[in-house]
């Protein structure tokens, strides 16, 4: 009589357990907007995990040991790319088959990093030659949605049909959102403003906006005295209607620039949030994030002084 040893039984049940757990792949997305697009495509099949939650910045993130464990366990990791998630370069080394770099997805249009004037300068090496905030153009979100659905379908063929149907529905919603935002922003297209950091190039290019520059060159570093002088001049001269702070960073610097105008300028303070700090993660975050940007800009730039 054949006897099955206890270790062999454990092995067999271990495999069965792993197969059951693999019914829905463990999926990890780095930033809230990426997570939102992935969550929309996965609806009905499972839920992706979010790496950077809360009100943390997309820059200057430090990977925790628990994050490294999540990265190792994930069947699929969605990220923008090594210019944005610099903190993942080491952690993802050797995991290339499981990582989807969305800035390289077919149909994603890249913008160059801005230089000169009140944008970055040549001493700023925080980002590469292209701007990594690709998700702020809904047309890029559409291309990202397609790439997300294809990667999920390949990893989890049992749900391929569901992923593609969800993607098609999400793309219809994004097209409608794009038209809505264009209409919201049309009246304020030519009004100049300053942003906190240069995160909105894609959004501004898509909707034909005219920003005057950014307050910081790198959001995780202090602003130099010469730059503060230039910014104060831009505010005092009336070359900017609104100053936009971000919820991920303290408002002190922006408030200082505004106070220094001594009432001579009509600059107002608004809030722009490129990540959705206060928004609940999930499929609805992305459209809410884009709508909030459009409403903040339109609201601040249309108010009479």
Q: Residue 233: name the closest of 203, 265, 255 by CA.
A: 265
Taking the least distance from each CB to Zn ion, the nearer of 199 and 267 is 199
The Cα-based distances of 216 to 224, 225, 230, 244, 276 in angstroms read 9, 12, 12, 12, 20
Strand order from edge to edge, sheet including 242-245: 213-214, 193-195, 242-245, 268-271
CA distances (Å), origin 8, targets 2, 11, 19, 119, 202: 13, 5, 17, 64, 56
DSSP 262: T
**Binding of residue 199 to Zn ion (CB under 5 A):** yes
Q: Residue 14: how many CB atoms within 10 A of its CB?
A: 10
Tokens encoding 2? 């054949």
Query: Are 42 and 169 spatial neighbours (Cβ–Cβ below 8 Å)?
Result: no
**Residue 127 C-beta: closest distance to Zn ion, Å:** 8
Q: How far is the CB of 286 from Zn ion (least distance, A)?
A: 16
Helix axes 32-42, 285-302, angle to 10 degrees: 130
Regarding 257 and contact with Zn ion (CB under 5 A), the answer is: no
| Nearest-approach distance from CB 239 to Zn ion, in angstroms | 23
Binding segment for Zn ion (CB under 5 A), chosen from 102-110, 179-187, 199-207, 259-267, is 199-207
**Taking the complex as a whole, how short is the minimal distance between the CB of residue 81 and Zn ion, in angstroms?**
13
Residue of minimal Cβ distance to Zn ion: 199
Q: Which stretch binds Zn ion (CB under 5 A): 14-22, 66-74, 192-200, 230-238?
A: 192-200
Rounded distance between C-alpha atoms, residue 147 and residue 128, angstroms:
23
Q: Which is nearer to Zn ion, 150 or 246 (CB)?
A: 246
Q: How far is the CB of 246 from Zn ion (least distance, A)?
A: 9
Of 66-74, 109-117, 197-205, 283-291, the window that binds Zn ion (rule: CB under 5 A) is 197-205
Q: Which is nearer to Zn ion, 70 or 201 (CB)?
A: 201
Distance CA 129, CA 126 (A): 10
Alpha carbon distance 236, 51 (integer Å): 41
Query: The tokens of 170 are what?
Result: 């999400």
For Zn ion, the closer of residues 156 and 273 by Cβ is 273
At its nearest, how many Å lie between Zn ion and the CB of residue 64? 21
Residue number, 37 or 199, with CB nearest to Zn ion: 199
Rounded to an integer, what distance in angstroms lies between the CA atom of residue 96 and that of residue 241? Answer: 45
Of 99-107, 149-157, 196-204, 224-232, which segment contacts Zn ion by CB under 5 A? Answer: 196-204
Sole window of 15-23, 65-73, 195-203, 277-285 interacting with Zn ion (rule: CB under 5 A): 195-203
3-state DSSP call for residue 243? strand
Number of residues that bind Zn ion (CB under 5 A): 1
Nearer to Zn ion, 58 or 150 (CB): 58
Tell the smallest beta-carbon distance from residue 212 to Zn ion (Å).
18
Q: Which is nearer to Zn ion, 39 or 199 (CB)?
A: 199
For the bound state, the minimum distance from the C-beta of residue 199 to Zn ion, rounded and expressed in Å, comes to: 4
Q: Would you say the C-alpha torsion 240, 244, 245, 251 has a positive or negative sign?
A: positive
Contact between 149 and Zn ion by CB under 5 A: the answer reads no
Interface residue list for Zn ion (CB under 5 A): 199
């Amino acid at each position: 009589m054949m006897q099955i040893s206890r270790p062999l039984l454990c092995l067999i049940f271990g495999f069965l357990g792993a197969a059951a757990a693999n019914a829905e792949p463990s999926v990890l997305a780095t930033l809230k907007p990426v997570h939102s697009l992935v969550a929309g495509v996965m609806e009905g099949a499972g839920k992706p995990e979010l790496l950077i939650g809360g009100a943390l910045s997309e820059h200057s993130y430090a990977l925790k040991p628990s994050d490294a464990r999540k990265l190792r366990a994930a069947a699929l990791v969605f990220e923008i790319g090594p210019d944005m998630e610099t903190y993942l370069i080491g952690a993802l080394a050797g995991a290339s088959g499981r990582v989807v770099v969305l800035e390289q997805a077919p149909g994603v249009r890249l913008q160059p990093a801005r230089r000169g004037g009140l944008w970055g300068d040549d001493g700023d090496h925080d980002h590469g030659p292209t701007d990594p905030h690709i998700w702020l153009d809904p047309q890029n979100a559409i291309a990202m949605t397609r790439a997300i659905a294809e990667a999920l379908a390949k990893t989890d063929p049992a749900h391929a049909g569901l992923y593609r149907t969800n993607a098609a529905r999400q793309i219809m919603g994004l097209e409608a959102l794009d038209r809505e935002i264009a209409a919201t922003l049309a009246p304020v297209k030519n009004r100049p403003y300053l942003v906190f950091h240069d995160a909105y190039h894609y959004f501004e290019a898509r909707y034909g906006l005219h920003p005057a520059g950014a307050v910081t060159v790198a959001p995780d570093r202090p602003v130099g005295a010469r730059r503060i002088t230039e910014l104060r001049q831009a505010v005092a001269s009336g070359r900017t209607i609104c100053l936009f702070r971000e919820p991920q960073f303290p408002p002190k610097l922006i408030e200082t620039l505004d106070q220094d105008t001594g009432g001579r300028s009509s600059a107002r303070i608004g809030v722009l949030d490129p990540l959705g700090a206060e928004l609940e993660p999930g499929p609805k975050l992305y459209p809410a994030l884009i709508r909030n940007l459009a409403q903040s800009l339109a609201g601040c730039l249309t108010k009479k002084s």
